[in-house]
């Protein structure tokens, strides 16, 4: 499948310099309005941008891939990294210049800011950056079209409360055509918000309390995705394995039950989910990894630290030993599972010994991949006021060592795959026209000859060698492998 039109999820890099003005099209009457969507942060933001894009498309907006070509710029922001708000304000400064230029030429530019920075800044954002027409928090996206309509009449609109209505219920479903432009894999948010209150994290404040979407809504969305040709669904949630809901049989379901139901949908061959909290990995979900071939053997299970003292200060609600025991149970259920994690170094009070505990845990678990960060203060979180903030140089040194260890483990994991037989879902054309890129069950990109199959096929391959951006493989036999089952049999 080719991506003929720019999708709303793939705009990467900084906002282009606001140098040239587009011809104003909004007041031309017949011309379609154009929207440039820029998404920062996690996959949940990618999904939210898609859903906002669906709503805007219903209102006649076409996606474009530059600020210059847009009548409306929608920035979906992320608050998880340091100085997130400052970065958004500097982009807004550039957009203000562009708007001024447009205005001087008789045109206009609308600017909407969504996501967690919008939520955290609220009214402050329109005060500090008058270029902004709409500020909209993650729980109010269904109000975006109405907010834009008001903004067209010159109002500044700030929508950042946590309403009781479900935004997803009120956003239009994606059309089959729009799903197809996004490819054969899709995100589906099943859960939002978090009640865990880790002391370093802003999510409980920006995304609000933990909420699960109802089973019927998730199932009908999954069925629509399948009908439009999607073969792999990644279920998303800030704390996805806390998902629960009333099942069609009247019982309370957890994520383990839900993945079984989604796997039964014709056309869905692969399921993933992210991000999980160790405390919410229940037996049903662990057993699903054993019993369901459609559930891919990859699990992102952040631990953050290997020191019990720090885990306690982080309010993680588990010890290092409990995490390791959990990993053992998961590996007993699915021996080839690839694990990834998140780590924070230099949390307040972290000593050299605490850090060595983290390094020990990493050696013991052995990760296929991981994300690691230096602790940085998020105003308003308990960590911000803690004693024992760690020196930046110490944090940098620890992060370098930790990342070297993880990189070594990632390389080892790739090398161990060489010679294995695996099913690949072919996802997109390769950089060379004679290549096509698929994804292994363990989430690695794998490059094969374009003649191996077409996008959307699941093909059986032997992994031949590792490369800098993934693995290389060749097809095995001519038999079709159009089922999710993974063979790891050599
Ligand atoms: N400082 C550093 N890293 C953080 N993360 C979240 N908050 C902070 C912070 N204040 C990291 C955690 C989390 C990931 C998404 O971002 O590791 O799992
Ligand atoms: Fe943040 Fe995850 Fe902790 Fe929730 S569980 S507070 S989202 S780090």
The predicted-structure confidence for 316-362, as pLDDT tens digits, reads as follows 999 999 999 999 999 999 999 999 999 999 999 999 999 999 999 99
Please name which ligand lies nearest the alpha carbon of 316.
2
Residue 378: what are its φ and ψ, rounded to 5°? -110, 115
Contacts of 113 (CB under 8 A, 6+ apart): 74, 75, 77, 88, 92, 125, 132, 134, 135, 136
pLDDT value at residue 285: 98
Task: Report the alpha-carbon distance of residue 78 to residue 58 in Å, rounded.
Answer: 26
Q: And the tokens for 21? A: 């003005």
3-12, 148-157, 226-235, 249-258, range with the lowest pLDDT: 3-12
> Is residue 219 within 8 Å of 459, Cβ to Cβ?
no
Strands 435-439 and 445-449: antiparallel
Which of 81, 199, 201 has most ligand 1 atoms within 8 Å of CB, for mutation? 201
Strands 458-466 and 421-429: antiparallel
* 426 beta partners: 438
Which of ligand 2's atoms lies nearest the C-alpha of 207? 7
Q: Once rounded to an integer, what is the mean pLDDT over residues 199-227?
A: 94
Long-range contacts of 350-354 (CB under 8 A, 24+ apart): 350/305, 350/307, 350/310, 350/375, 350/388, 350/390, 350/398, 353/307, 354/305, 354/306, 354/307, 354/309, 354/310
pTM, two decimal places: 0.87
pLDDT at 26 over 70: no
> Is residue 72 within 8 Å of 34, Cβ to Cβ?
yes
> Is residue 202 within 8 Å of 155, Cβ to Cβ?
no
Task: Report the alpha-carbon distance of residue 304 to residue 328 in Å, rounded.
Answer: 18
The per-residue pLDDT for range 409-420, each reduced to its tens digit, is 999 999 999 999
Which of 79, 116, 197, 198 has most ligand 2 atoms within 8 Å of CB, for mutation? 198
pLDDT at 482 over 70: no
What is the largest distance, in Å, between two alpha-carbon atoms of the chain?
A: 68
Confidence of residue 490 (pLDDT cuts 50, 70, 90): very low
Report CA(164)–ligand 1 centroid distance (Å): 28
pLDDT at 67 over 90: yes
Report CA(462)–ligand 2 centroid distance (Å): 38
Task: Report the alpha-carbon distance of residue 331 to residue 349 in Å, rounded.
Answer: 32
CA distances from 395 to 308, 311, 354, 355, 372 (A): 19, 17, 12, 10, 11
pLDDT value at residue 19: 29
* 110 beta partners: 72
Residue 119: what are its φ and ψ, rounded to 5°? -60, -45
pLDDT value at residue 22: 32
- Nearest one of 108, 91, 90 to 99, comparing CA atoms: 108
Regarding the beta carbon of 206 and ligand 1, being less than 6 Å apart is answered no
Task: Report the alpha-carbon distance of residue 174 to residue 168 in Å, rounded.
Answer: 11
Q: What angle do CA 227, 231, 235 make, to 5 degrees?
A: 100
Task: Report the alpha-carbon distance of residue 235 to residue 255 in Å, rounded.
Answer: 10
For residues 99-134, b (16+ Cβ closer than 10 Å) or e, as one string?
beebeeeebebbbbbbbbbbbbbeeebbeebebbbb
The per-residue pLDDT for range 75-91, each reduced to its tens digit, is 999 988 878 889 999 99
Task: Report the alpha-carbon distance of residue 243 to residue 276 in Å, rounded.
Answer: 10
Q: Once rounded to an integer, what is the mean pLDDT over residues 223-233?
A: 97
pLDDT at 97 over 90: yes
Report CA(302)–ligand 1 centroid distance (Å): 10
Please name which ligand lies nearest the alpha carbon of 344.
1
Confidence of residue 31 (pLDDT cuts 50, 70, 90): low
pLDDT value at residue 489: 32
- Nearest one of 184, 187, 231 to 54, comparing CA atoms: 187
Which of ligand 1's atoms lies nearest the C-alpha of 302? 18
What is the edge-to-edge ordering of all strands in the sheet holding 298-300? 298-300, 338-345, 369-374
Contacts of 443 (CB under 8 A, 6+ apart): 272, 296, 298, 338, 368, 369
Asked if the peptide bond before residue 404 counts as cis, ω within 30 degrees of 0, the response is: no
Report CA(377)–ligand 1 centroid distance (Å): 10
pLDDT at 238 over 90: yes
Which of ligand 1's atoms lies nearest the C-alpha of 378? 10
Which of ligand 2's atoms lies nearest the C-alpha of 316? 3
Report CA(173)–ligand 2 centroid distance (Å): 29
Report CA(286)–ligand 2 centroid distance (Å): 21
Regarding the beta carbon of 449 and ligand 1, being less than 6 Å apart is answered no
The per-residue pLDDT for range 393-434, each reduced to its tens digit, is 999 999 999 999 999 999 999 999 999 999 999 999 999 999
Strands 134-136 and 157-159: parallel
pLDDT at 5 over 80: no
Confidence of residue 17 (pLDDT cuts 50, 70, 90): very low
Mean pLDDT, the chain, integer: 89
Which of 197, 281, 375, 384 has most ligand 2 atoms within 8 Å of CB, for mutation? 197
Task: Report the alpha-carbon distance of residue 484 to residue 269 in Å, rounded.
Answer: 5
Higher pLDDT, 175 or 112: 112
The per-residue pLDDT for range 258-275, each reduced to its tens digit, is 999 999 999 999 999 999
Please name which ligand lies nearest the alpha carbon of 242.
2
Report CA(316)–ligand 2 centroid distance (Å): 8
Task: Report the alpha-carbon distance of residue 363 to residue 357 in Å, rounded.
Answer: 10
Which of ligand 1's atoms lies nearest the C-alpha of 371? 17
Q: Pocket residues for ligand 2 (CB within 6 Å)?
A: 194, 196-198, 201, 203-204, 238-239, 277
Task: Report the alpha-carbon distance of residue 450 to residue 433 in Å, rounded.
Answer: 7
Report CA(428)–ligand 2 centroid distance (Å): 32
Residue with CA at minimum distance from ligand 1 atom 13: 342
Report CA(145)–ligand 1 centroid distance (Å): 32
* 345 beta partners: 374
Regarding the beta carbon of 302 and ligand 1, being less than 6 Å apart is answered yes
pLDDT value at residue 164: 67
Report CA(200)–ligand 1 centroid distance (Å): 7
Task: Report the alpha-carbon distance of residue 411 to residue 369 in Å, rounded.
Answer: 9
């Amino acid at each position: 499948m080719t991506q003929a039109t720019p999708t709303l999820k793939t705009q990467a890099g900084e906002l282009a310099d606001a140098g040239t003005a587009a011809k104003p099209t909004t007041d031309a009457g017949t011309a379609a309005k154009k929207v440039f969507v820029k998404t920062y942060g996690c996959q949940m933001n990618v999904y939210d941008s898609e859903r906002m894009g669906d709503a805007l498309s219903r209102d006649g907006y076409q996606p474009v891939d530059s600020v210059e070509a847009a009548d409306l710029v929608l920035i979906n922001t992320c608050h998880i990294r340091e100085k997130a708000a400052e970065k958004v304000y500097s982009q807004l400064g550039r957009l203000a210049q562009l708007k001024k230029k447009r205005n001087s030429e008789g045109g206009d530019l609308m600017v909407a800011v969504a996501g967690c920075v919008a939520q955290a800044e609220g009214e402050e954002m329109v005060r500090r950056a008058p270029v902004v027409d709409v500020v909209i928090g993650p729980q109010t996206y269904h109000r975006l079209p109405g907010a834009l309509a008001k903004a067209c009449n010159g109002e500044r609109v700030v929508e950042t409360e946590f309403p009781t209505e479900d935004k997803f219920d009120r956003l239009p479903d994606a059309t089959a055509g729009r799903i197809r432009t996004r490819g054969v894999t899709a995100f589906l948010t099943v859960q939002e918000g978090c009640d865990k209150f880790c002391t370093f994290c802003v999510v409980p404040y920006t995304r609000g309390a933990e909420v699960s979407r109802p089973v019927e809504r998730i199932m009908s969305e999954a069925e629509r995705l399948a009908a439009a040709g999607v073969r792999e669904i990644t279920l998303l949630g800030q704390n996805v394995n806390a998902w629960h809901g009333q099942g069609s049989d009247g019982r309370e379901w957890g994520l383990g039950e839900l993945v079984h139901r989604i796997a039964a949908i014709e056309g869905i061959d692969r399921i993933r989910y992210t991000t999980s909290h160790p405390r919410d990995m229940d037996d049903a979900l662990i057993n699903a990894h054993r019993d369901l071939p459609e559930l891919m053997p990859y699990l992102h299970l952040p631990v953050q630290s290997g020191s019990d003292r720090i885990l306690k200060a982080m309010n993680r609600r588990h010890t290092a030993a409990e995490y390791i025991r959990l990993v053992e149970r998961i590996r007993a259920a699915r021996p080839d599972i690839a694990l990834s994690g998140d780590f924070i170094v230099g949390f307040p009070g972290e000593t050299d010994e605490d850090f060595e505990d983290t390094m020990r845990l990493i050696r013991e678990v052995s990760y296929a991949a991981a994300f690691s960060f230096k602790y940085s203060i998020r105003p308003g979180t308990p960590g911000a006021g803690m004693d024992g903030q760690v020196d930046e140089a110490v944090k940098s040194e620890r992060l370098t060592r930790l990342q070297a260890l993880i990189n070594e483990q990632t390389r080892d994991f790739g090398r161990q795959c060489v010679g294995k037989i695996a099913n690949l879902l072919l996802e997109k054309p390769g950089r060379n026209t004679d290549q096509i890129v698929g994804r292994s069950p363990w989430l690695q990109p794998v490059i094969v000859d374009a003649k191996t199959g077409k996008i959307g096929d699941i093909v059986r391959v032997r992994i031949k060698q590792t490369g800098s951006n993934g693995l290389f493989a060749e097809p095995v036999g001519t038999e079709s492998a159009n089922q999710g089952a993974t063979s790891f049999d050599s």
